[in-house]
């Protein structure tokens, strides 16, 4: 294979992530020609409504940030689609597959505030913004006094909205995006000449979304040339962990906008290759989520996900 075409969204974060993919591919294949194709997705176009409502508004069942990239794959316009893995549906059509994931960045959520102090520093009844139903439900659980509002736009746009708003006191985002954009330095981000304060949230409480912090490379399942290229840049540990996370979502029947957090960790102590998988799930109509955790072999991510779901169901029935 002499050349390859990568497809990506056009946001600043998406472009930073495709640059990471290009760098990894060039290191593995110095003579490989790499072309980039920027594609606008439904999620990029529909910023006029909450993200959780976009799929229903345009009559899509899944993948508001991925569908157009998959169409380009299908039509042969691109060879690899580069995604934020957390944006991808947990179940893909058979003609597509996640062939590789790059080494994972931090998967933690962060609170960005105008003042120091993290969540404790937000005043009683303060207003905090997020586009994620998972982050909204977890924040409402921890701080029921706060007013949680929707926000849309790319990362710099959301930071600007926070800075310019007289009502907003905080913003919830993924730490990985701030880092990849080079915005986070010593616990602060700059926006319009002002400093905003960043506090990491405890992932044992604020369980991250499946695949958060990971970059996925999606290909046509039958494209062996693209598969061979992707295999050279795949991070094995990250792939095993995100496979377990995504399998848990699919067993649960959850989509990208379902209030579910699931995060795996490769255990440093104990049996080599073991993964600790933790989840939090908000069931319909329930204010208190189900929580669960299991430890098992990283060589069987599907079995590990099934064990976690079974344990959570059993715990809930008691």
Q: Would you state the structure tokens that stand for residue 285, as one six-digit string?
A: 């109509």
Q: Which of 134, 133, 171, 137 is nearest to 154 (CA)?
A: 171
Residues 6+ away with beta carbon under 8 Å from 94: 221
> Token pair for residue 219?
């290909």
Give yes or no for a contact between 288 and 295, defined as CB atoms under 8 angstroms apart: no
HSE-CB at 170 with a 13 A cutoff on CA atoms is 32
Alpha carbons 171 and 150: distance in angstroms, whole number: 10
Q: By the 8 A CB rule, do 172 and 129 touch?
A: yes
Question: Nearest CA to 77 among 65, 68, 85?
Answer: 68
Stretch (H or E) spanning 20: helix 12-28
What are the angstrom distances between the C-alpha of 286 and each of 133, 141, 246, 256, 283?
14, 11, 23, 19, 5
Collapsed DSSP state (helix, strand, coil) of residue 4: strand
Vertex 93 angle, CA 87 and 99, to 5°: 65
Q: Is 87 a catalytic site residue? A: yes
Number of Cβ within 10 Å of residue 180's Cβ equals 23
The DSSP code for 289 is P
Q: Are 159 and 189 in contact (CB under 8 A)?
A: yes
Beta bridge partners of 220: 96
Active-site option among 87, 93, 202, 299: 87
Q: Which residues are catalytically annotated?
A: 87
């Amino acid at each position: 294979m002499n050349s390859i075409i990568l497809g990506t969204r056009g946001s600043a974060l998406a472009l930073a992530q495709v640059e990471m993919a290009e760098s990894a591919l060039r290191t593995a294949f110095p003579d490989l020609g790499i072309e980039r194709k920027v594609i606008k997705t439904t999620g990029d176009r529909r910023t006029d409504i909450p993200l959780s409502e976009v799929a229903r508004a345009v009559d899509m069942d899944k993948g508001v940030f991925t569908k157009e990239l998959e169409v380009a794959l299908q039509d042969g316009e691109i060879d690899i689609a580069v995604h934020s893995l957390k944006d991808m549906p947990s179940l893909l059509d058979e003609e597509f597959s996640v062939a590789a994931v790059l080494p994972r960045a931090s998967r933690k959520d962060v609170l960005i505030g105008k003042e120091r102090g993290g969540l404790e520093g937000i005043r009683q009844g303060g207003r905090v913004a997020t586009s994620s139903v998972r982050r909204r439900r977890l924040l409402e659980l921890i701080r029921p006094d706060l007013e949680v509002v929707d926000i849309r736009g790319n990362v710099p746009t959301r930071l600007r909205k926070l800075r310019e708003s007289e009502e907003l006191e905080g913003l919830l985002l993924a730490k990985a995006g701030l880092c990849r954009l080079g915005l986070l330095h010593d616990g602060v981000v700059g926006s319009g000449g002002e400093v905003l304060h960043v506090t990491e949230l405890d992932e044992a409480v604020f369980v991250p979304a499946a695949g958060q912090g990971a970059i996925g490379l999606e290909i046509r399942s039958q494209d062996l040339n693209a598969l061979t290229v992707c295999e050279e840049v795949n991070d094995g540990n990250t792939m095993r962990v995100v496979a377990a996370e995504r399998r848990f979502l699919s067993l649960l029947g959850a989509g990208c906008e379902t209030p579910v957090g699931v995060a795996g960790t490769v255990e440093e102590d104990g049996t080599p290759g073991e993964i600790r998988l933790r989840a939090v799930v908000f069931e319909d109509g329930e204010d208190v989520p189900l929580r669960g955790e299991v430890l098992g072999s990283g060589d069987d991510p599907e079995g590990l996900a099934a064990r976690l779901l079974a344990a959570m169901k059993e715990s809930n029935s008691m």
